[in-house]
Amino acid sequence: MQTESRIVFPVVASATQAFFKMERISVFIDGENFLYGVKSINSYYTDFNFDFKKYINHLTKARKLINIYYVIAPLKQNLNPSLYTKQQKLLSRLKKEGINVILCKRTKRDNGDGTQCHKIKEDDIRLALQMQKDAYDNKFDIALLFSGDGDFVPLPEYLAEKGKKMEIAYFEGHTAFTLLRVCNFKASLINKKILNKFFYRESLDN
């Protein structure tokens, strides 16, 4: 009796299945720079009411979100208890949302007119070091920077050497042109329309 032979062909993934790889993206937020940008649009606006997680999800859709870092210095409780309390609520909310809060210092400086102020210190270097460390450890393919600070200009070149890309979210008029020019992938403008879209509508006082 003749038996029927069957040829089994191997299953070959489609071109999309074989070559598509979801890009990994990590977000690095310069908290002080973001607040200045928000205030430049409306002095009554504050980062306390901004839904960072929702906006970041909007920017990173179709990519795999790996980490979010928020770099800031705590306010001095004795100088402004009300603002201190609001900032602590903001930081607590960010942590609950899975955002990594990196704290740096504020130092007292003389203004030259007999008055003093407290300036944030080490925020740029802490953000840059975290980005470089994660790039070296191959934790992301794209770094999304929330800042317009020209001190970050060397970062895109370093990332390119590691095979990484860099995006930037920035405020018009408060971003170094050199930073925009060297960012080798994408820039997202944060304007009044964006802020209003991603502000919380409900009260956050409780």
Mean pLDDT for each 10-residue chunk of the chain (206 residues)? 52 51 96 94 92 96 96 90 94 97 79 53 90 98 95 93 95 86 83 94 55
What is the rounded (10 degree) CA torsion for 179, 183, 188, 190? -10
101 DSSP β-pair partners: 70
Residue 21 inside a domain? The answer is: no
Enclosing domain of residue 170? 26-198
The CATH number for 93's domain is 3.40.50.1010
Residue 206 inside a domain? The answer is: no
**pLDDT of 106:** 80
Split into its structural domains, the chain has a count of 1
Residue 5 inside a domain? The answer is: no
Give the DSSP H or E segment for 85. helix 81-96
Q: 175 near 30, Cβ under 8 Å?
A: no
Q: 49 near 200, Cβ under 8 Å?
A: yes
**pLDDT of 6:** 55
**pLDDT of 33:** 93
Q: Of 68, 90, 86, 92, whose CA–CA distance to 169 is shortest?
A: 68
Residue 203 inside a domain? The answer is: no
Residue 106 inside a domain? The answer is: yes
d(CA 69, CA 114): 36
Q: 73 near 123, Cβ under 8 Å?
A: yes
What's the pTM?
0.83
Residue 73 inside a domain? The answer is: yes
Residue 18 inside a domain? The answer is: no
